[in-house]
Amino acid sequence: MGGRSPESAEPIPLPPLLAPSLLESAAIFFLVLLVLLANGRPIGAGDTRPTERVAASLVESFDFDLDEYPEVTAPFVRRVGEHSVSIYPVLSAVLAAPVFAACRAFFALDETGTALAGKLAAAILSSLAAVFFFRALARRVPIAEARAAAVLLALGTSVWSTSQALWQHPAAVLFLSLALWCVFRAEDDDAWAARAGLPLALVVAARHADVALVAALAIGIAVRWPRRMPGFFAWALGPLLFVLGYQLRYFGAPWTTGFSGSLASRFSESLSVGVPGLLVSPAKGLFVFTPLALVAVVGLFRVLQRGERWLPIVAASACLAHLLLIGSWSEWHGGESFGPRMTTDLLPILFVFLPAGFEALPRVATVLAALSIGVQALGAFTYDYRWERLYQRPPAPDHRELWSVADSPIALALRERVITLAAPGIAEQRAFVSEYPIAPFSASGSRVTFPAGVLRIDGSENAFDNVLLQRGARIVDDRLRLRGRFDALFLRVREGARPRHLQLRVSGRGQGVLYVGERTFGKPKTRWTEYPMNGAFSIRHAYFFAESGGGDVLVALGKEAGDASLESVALVSPREPENVIRLP
């Protein structure tokens, strides 16, 4: 008689996951590093300058104070006794010090030198974070999925934008990725649960604001591996002692941070404003600048529905704890930065679930991944704090500028359509950054006026193109208003006009000094000519490319206070009227 044996009740075991090779890790590291450095320029802020100077001080003076950097002022530094001290944690500077030491062998650590070294150090930290996130996730999902998630973490989120200067976030993201690596290894050997105490403590040492996120993760580890907690705290002791020792040395008490006044008073924002702002604000929202994060959220619930409980619950708790803490912070928006800087540190935890999200929504996830990378690339190649100068200086008391869709940083970049290419260089042992802005849709002409709020280009010939506004330059009442430092009108003299003797004519009113600059991409110096303003003026500036080599021309304010209201700018022959009508 024939018969059929009963089917086994045991599930068919899945094939074991392959461990990623060092070559694959190196490939991710160099790919991410190359992209993070591709825009060629640092995009710093007041928050990053003190940390970069601390790294330079460690290399040049072997201390943490900023006494030798008087250009870094309050509120970013505090005067404590006889020393000027950064208000921020210094671990990122310690990690960056070897990079600064290497850079010092090639150029001076001056203003530009420290900015370039800081960008390089931050990009290296973020690239290492992508590698460890990849190696951690490859213990849960196939290598191809882990590789994609790691690259998207680095290039489709604010990890990219916070790698443009020495923020605290690259170090925090690196240590969070290391903690995930330890936790996933603990699935096979629970001794690694204790070792996770070291990277989690380093997260807080690098960025104190991540304390709620780290506490939630630590509680989750304690629930899962309670017998490993003594070892966990032993591993965490070193970073804790470093922070307490530094604060004792520079602020007089182990529990005193660099922030002056009551720390509790800084948590004054309503959660009904801060949390939605962190997630959906047009100027700072996570889901606006990184819509791919929605796919990771879907993936988290998908993993939960499959029956896995501990990891998705702990991850969701950590993300929620971070959102509640930062959402109550009075500066939840992160100040002057591109996009949702303050949610950067929860991304490694959330993106663990990105592969499951792709499985659930493959087509939607692919579109949102491309969109997220595009938004970050937009910031890397366009962002120059122009948005802050136009809409956030000074900020409105209710921060209405953060909720305007039409005037968001993304909308501004798409509306103005200006791309900034740049390249660093070294001349006479000093670093410089040469910028090459491109306005691909700019008209050409010989005269610029500003009727009805529009940048109008016309004139008798095609003398220049690539006309654009820089920094806080804005059109007000049919005139171009320059009021802040380095506000400028930029134009590029066309090749056909460069052999001729020309005259740059600038008409308007103002007070202070107006500068005309001529510069060449790849050269360190700009030739500046000063023109004092005191009421109405009509500047006639002789331009001859053969003498200056400056195909890029700027009409700008400088570092000092000034106010200029320009009626027109023209580049014509010295003997020609500037408003000749061009015939078809």
Domains and CATH numbers, the chain: 22-258+269-382 (no CATH), 439-572 (2.60.120.430)
Q: Is the pLDDT of residue 12 over 50?
A: no
pLDDT band at 335 (very low <50, low <70, confident <90, very high): confident
Distance CA 214, CA 317 (A): 10
Give residue 263's pLDDT.
Answer: 65
pLDDT in tens, 365-419: 999 999 999 999 999 999 999 999 999 887 777 788 999 999 999 999 999 999 9
Q: How far apart are CA 352 and CA 145, in angstroms?
A: 10
Per-residue pLDDT at 404? 94
Please check whether residue 447 is in contact with residue 458, taking contact to mean a CB–CB distance below 8 angstroms. Answer: yes
Coil, strand or helix at 515: strand
pLDDT computed for residue 583 by the predictor: 41
pLDDT band at 460 (very low <50, low <70, confident <90, very high): confident
CB within 8 Å of 252: residues ≥ 6 apart:
80
Q: Residue 15: which pLDDT band, with cuts at 50, 70 and 90?
A: low
**Quick one: pLDDT band at residue 261, thresholds 50, 70, 90?**
low
Output the six-digit token pair for 537.
Answer: 């003026």
Q: What number is the average pLDDT over the span 262-286?
A: 89
Compare 29 and 575 and report the one with higher pLDDT. Answer: 29
Q: CA 243, 246, 250 angle in degrees (round to 5)? A: 140
> How far, in Å, CA of 556 to CA of 535, rounded?
17
Q: Print the SS3 string covering 523-552.
A: CCCCEEEEEEEEEEEEEEEEEEHHHHCCCE
The mean per-residue pLDDT over the stretch 94-105 comes to 98
Q: SS3 breakdown of the chain: % helix, strand, coil, rounded to 5?
A: 50, 20, 35
Which whole number is the average pLDDT over 451-471?
94
Selection from 113, 98, 154, 120 nearest residue 37 by Cα: 120
Overall average pLDDT of the 316-338 stretch:
94
pLDDT digits (tens, 9 = 90+) for 519-538: 999 999 999 999 999 999 99
Lowest mean pLDDT: which of 4-18, 336-350, 443-457, 544-558? 4-18
* Residue tagged 């976030």 (tokens): 169
- Write down the pLDDT at residue 468: 97
pLDDT at 560: 85
Mean pLDDT, range 188-194, rounded to an integer: 97
The tokens describing 364, both together, are: 């939607």
% of residues, the chain, pLDDT over 90: 85
Q: Are 162 and 341 in contact (CB under 8 A)?
A: yes
Decide if 503 contacts 569 (C-beta within 8 A): no
Nearest to 88 by CA among 133, 139, 52: 52
Nearest CA-CA partner of 480 in 554, 406, 384, 559: 554
Instruction: Determine whether 236 is exposed, middle or buried from the number of CB atoms within 10 Å of its CB (0-12, 13-18, 19+).
Output: buried
As a whole number of angstroms, the distance between CA 315 and CA 214 comes to 11
pLDDT at 264: 67
User: What is the overall mean pLDDT for the chain?
Assistant: 93
Give the integer Cα–Cα distance in Å for 148 and 146: 5
Structure tokens at 74: 């309050």
pLDDT on residue 390: 93
pLDDT of residue 243: 96
pLDDT at 258: 84
pLDDT digits (tens, 9 = 90+) for 72-90: 988 899 988 888 999 999 9
pLDDT at 486 over 80: yes
Q: What is the 3-state secondary structure (H, E, C) of 425-489?
A: EEECCEEEEEEEEECCCCCCECEEECHHHCCEEECCCCCEEEEEEECCCEEECCEEEECCCCCEE
Q: In the 8-state DSSP scheme, what is residue 210?
A: G
pLDDT score, position 393: 81
pLDDT at 101 over 70: yes
Burial class (CB in 10 A: 0-12, 13-18, 19+), 261: exposed
Select from 348, 315, 328, 316 the least CA-distant residue to 277: 328
In SS3 terms, 381-417 reads as: HHCCCHHHHHHCCCCCCCCHHHHCCCCCHHHHHHHHC
Average of pLDDT values for 209-233?
98
User: pLDDT of 488-514, one tens digit each?
Assistant: 999 999 999 999 999 999 999 999 999
User: What is the rounded CA–CA span in Å between residue 379 and residue 374?
Assistant: 9
| pLDDT per position as a tens digit, 120-179 | 999 999 999 999 999 999 999 999 999 999 999 999 999 999 999 999 999 999 999 999
Rounded to an integer, what is the distance from CA 416 to the centroid of its chain? 20
Instruction: List, in sequence order, every residue forming a beta bridge with 489; answer none if it has no partner.
Output: 469, 555
What pLDDT, on the 0 to 100 scale, is given for residue 266? Answer: 79
Overall average pLDDT of the 554-569 stretch: 94
